[in-house]
């Protein structure tokens, strides 16, 4: 039986929408892409995308990397509950800032109306409570503070930390671009696919919001907000934007624990600057040029994968003011064409974890489209790292992706191998 092809009109409409969505302009240039942050203590070979200088006499990028790789201890504010001692512990493959091979745990339950409820977890033999928080930290600085999952919490979810290389370009995408992608998808697919665009608060600009794009639930919209959130939730270190620890059990330090340095910056500022200066994950150009990878790329687009895994997006023009007026897109990040293979929207593809964060009840079973750039460096896949082959990960897609997955199933073995060869070039 012949494989059912997408209607010609749908293909033409999708291509036209794609060109309109990414905002391609004559002034746009390719974003720098390289694995240029190797795991070496002297930072030999580190090259920024130009956001911070690459002048041998200017060590800004390397200094920011030092802070990103720093391991905290109790005296510096680690904990009382935490998951890792440093950012690099969860962002290291294949370079500093890359993906993770470990997951974090989130839990919760639903009320009588089926709405998600954040748990309140008791610690210290019931004497203290960590309230209204779905994240369960795996570590603590003392036995009394260690969290455990009670039987009342029936929703359990694992999530891997995402790659942050190239996220400066992601931050520089205009929110209107993401909203336009969301608006175009139902038209492209006859209503089958409809990514959800959400606005989320900005910690550095109280009262302001922006299109979410970071985290599996798009719970953050800026790299500074993201840095502060990760610092307090993953390492237990408070800052000016997240000034209160989750618990005071065994705590010996005073909040906020992230001090201003001689340069007037906190660690969270260095984290954000490091991410903004990192280059995008590069393609394996040799593999991408092979006949099988080229054929696989054509199949990837023709069966509909690229509706959500958008191959090209152009960042906002240089000089655009974003993040509630707190950041201006510089020349190093503006008018850059990136290839993230993501729409940075929330979708229900049958793998939702049931957790609700900034997006409201409708997002419980939705997750952000995982960017595929850098996929070739990953051995375990999907948000929970529980898929171990490219084929298994594709076949897990259901819900909005059902028709696309069925088209993949209808491919011959040779065609599937070609598509996977293409994925392995990303």
> What's the total number of domains in the chain?
1
Q: What is the pLDDT of residues 284-307, one digit of tens each?
A: 999 999 999 999 999 999 999 999
Whether residue 158 is contained in a domain is answered as yes
pLDDT digits 0-9 by tens, 240-255: 999 999 999 999 999 9
Query: Each residue of 262-273: pLDDT tens digit?
Result: 999 999 999 999
310 has pLDDT over 70:
yes
What contacts 155, CB < 8 A, 6 or more positions away?
A: 107, 108, 109, 110, 116, 353, 354, 355
Is 361 part of a structural domain of the chain?
Answer: yes
CA distance 408 to 299: 9
Query: Taking residues 345-360, what's their average pLDDT?
Result: 95
What is the rounded end-to-end Cα distance, in angstroms, of the chain? Answer: 31
2 belongs to a structural domain:
no
Domain-located, residue 249: yes
Over residues 380-391, the mean pLDDT reads 97
Q: Sorting pLDDT into bands at 50, 70 and 90, what band is 8?
A: very low
Let me know: does 223 contact 167? Beta carbons within 8 Å.
yes
Has residue 3 been placed in a domain?
no
Residue 39, in any domain of the structure: yes
What distances in angstroms separate CA 132 from CA 121, 285, 353, 425, one per listed residue? Answer: 8, 47, 17, 42
Model pTM? 0.93
Residue the block writes with tokens 């964060």: 357
Q: Nearest 5°: phi and psi at 89?
A: -60, -30
| 265, part of any domain | yes
Q: How far out from the chain centre does Cα 172 lie? A: 14
Q: Decide if 1 is inside a domain.
A: no
Q: Per-residue pLDDT averaged across 308-320, rounded?
A: 98
What is the tens place of the pLDDT at every residue in 228-237? Answer: 999 999 999 9
In the predicted structure, residue 77 carries a pLDDT above the cut 80: yes
Distance CA 113, CA 366 (A): 19
The whole-number pLDDT of residue 7 equals: 37
Average pLDDT on 313-341 reads 98
Range of the domain at 107: 8-423
């Amino acid at each position: 039986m012949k494989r059912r092809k997408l209607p010609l009109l749908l293909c033409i409409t999708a291509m036209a929408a794609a060109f309109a969505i990414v905002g391609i302009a004559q002034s746009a240039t390719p974003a720098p892409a390289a694995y240029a942050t190797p795991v070496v203590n002297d930072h030999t070979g580190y090259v920024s995308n130009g956001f911070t200088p690459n002048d041998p006499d200017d060590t800004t990028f390397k200094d920011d990397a030092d802070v990103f790789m720093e391991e905290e201890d109790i005296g510096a504010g680690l904990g009382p509950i935490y998951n890792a001692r440093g950012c690099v512990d969860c962002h290291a493959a294949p370079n500093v800032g890359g993906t993770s091979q470990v997951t974090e745990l989130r839990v919760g339950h639903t009320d009588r109306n089926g709405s998600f409820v954040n748990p309140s977890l008791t610690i210290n033999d019931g004497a203290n409570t960590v309230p209204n928080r779905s994240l369960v930290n795996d570590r603590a600085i003392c036995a009394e503070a260690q969290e455990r999952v009670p039987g009342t919490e029936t929703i359990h979810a694992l999530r891997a930390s995402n790659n942050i290389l190239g996220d400066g370009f992601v931050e520089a995408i205009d929110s209107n671009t993401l909203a336009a992608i969301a608006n175009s998808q139902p038209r492209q697919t006859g209503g089958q696919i409809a990514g959800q665009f959400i606005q989320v608060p900005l910690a550095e600009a109280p009262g302001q919001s922006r299109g979410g794009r970071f985290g599996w639930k798009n719970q953050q919209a800026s790299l500074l907000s993201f840095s502060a959130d990760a610092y307090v939730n993953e390492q237990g270190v408070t800052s000016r934007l997240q000034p209160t620890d989750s618990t005071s059990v065994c705590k010996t330090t005073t909040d906020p624990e992230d001090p201003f340095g001689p340069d007037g910056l906190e660690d969270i500022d260095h984290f954000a600057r490091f991410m903004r200066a990192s280059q995008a994950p590069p393609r394996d150009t040799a593999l991408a040029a092979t006949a099988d990878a080229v054929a696989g790329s054509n199949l990837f687009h023709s069966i509909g994968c690229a509706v959500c895994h958008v191959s090209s997006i152009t960042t906002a023009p240089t000089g655009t003011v974003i993040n509630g007026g707190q950041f201006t897109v510089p020349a190093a990040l503006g008018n850059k064409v990136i290839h993230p293979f993501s729409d940075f929207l929330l979708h229900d593809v049958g793998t939702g974890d049931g957790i609700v964060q900034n997006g409201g009840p409708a997002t419980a079973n939705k997750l952000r489209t995982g960017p595929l750039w850098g996929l070739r460096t990953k051995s375990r896949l999907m948000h929970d790292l529980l898929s171990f082959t490219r084929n298994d990960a594709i076949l897990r897609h259901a819900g909005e992706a059902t028709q696309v997955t069925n088209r993949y199933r209808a491919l011959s073995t040779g065609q599937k191998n070609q598509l996977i060869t293409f994925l392995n070039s990303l």
